[in-house]
Amino acid sequence: MKLITENIENVEYLTEETKDGKKNYTIKGVFMQADIKNRNGRVYPKDILIKEVKRYNDDFINNRRAFGELGHPEGPVVNLERVSHMINKLYQDGNNFIGEAKILDTPYGKIVKNLIDEGAKLGVSSRGMGTLVNKNGANHVKDDFYLATAADIVADPSAPNAFVEGVMEGKEWVWNNGKLAEHEIDTFKSRIESAKRVQRAEVGARAFRDFLKKF
């Protein structure tokens, strides 16, 4: 599976001052969109997003562990040292999936607060994993899509609506003992492809076992 990120710029950053003079910072807006070909040439079928958003709510938001990072992380796993906000809402509104997140008082959260205070224009980027299939000139996300986080906080002033930051899209990831591992897959692919057709199942299984031994 490949890492897939999609950026949305049209979100609101809201501040609310409390009675003791402190400020609460919140993000609100469209975090993901379904059944629309975005500028990356990708389409997320609505039924796939509905299913995955429900899982994300059940597993992460409802358990108060739906975190996001500042910047473009290099993999699908959330790094707690870089967490800047906690997502507390994600719900469907037509083809849009609306999210809300609270900026935390972490080191990276403080950077976000300072950027907001200075008037910086920020966006959000969903981060997930999955495979793609090309249909009618667009890459459709398949039903193995896994949403890692609904929103990382990013900055890209040139982005109008949705765009890609394909930093890690050339890498592939697999599940290994419940964890995601970056996969140097070329060697294993070449072993399988060079085998005779009748041998491919056996060679493929052996290559996969060899890969797992690396972790």
Q: Write the pLDDT tens digit of every residue in 84-129.
A: 999 999 999 999 999 999 999 999 999 999 998 988 888 888 999 9
Q: Please give the residue that has the higher pLDDT: either 191 or 135.
A: 135
Rounded mean pLDDT of 18-45? 88
Burial of 133 by CB count in 10 Å (0-12 exposed, 13-18 middle, 19+ buried)? exposed
Select which of 84, 85, 125, 126 is catalytic: 125
Q: Which secondary-structure segment (H or E) carries 172?
A: strand 172-176
Q: What percent of the chain has pLDDT over 90?
A: 44
Rounded mean pLDDT of 41-50? 94
pLDDT score of 51 more than 50: yes
Q: Are 155 and 120 in contact (CB under 8 A)?
A: yes
Rounded mean pLDDT of 43-57? 96
What is the average pLDDT value for the chain, to the nearest integer?
A: 79
Q: Coil, helix or strand for 24?
A: strand
Read off the pLDDT band of 40 (50, 70, 90): confident
Phi, psi (rounded to 5 degrees) for 67: -105, 160
Predicted TM-score (pTM) of this structure? 0.71
Rounded mean pLDDT of 144-161? 73
Close Cβ partners of 204 (under 8 Å, ≥ 6 residues apart):
192, 195
Q: Residue 209's pLDDT is what?
A: 55
pLDDT score of 50 more than 80: yes
Q: Coil, helix or strand for 214?
A: coil
Burial of 147 by CB count in 10 Å (0-12 exposed, 13-18 middle, 19+ buried)? buried
Q: Please give the residue that has the higher pLDDT: either 24 or 198.
A: 24
Q: Residue 170's pLDDT is what?
A: 41
125 catalytic residue (yes or no): yes
72 catalytic residue (yes or no): yes
For residue range 12-22, list pLDDT tens digits in order: 888 888 778 78
For residue range 156-208, list pLDDT tens digits in order: 633 333 322 222 334 455 555 555 555 544 555 555 556 555 555 555 555 55
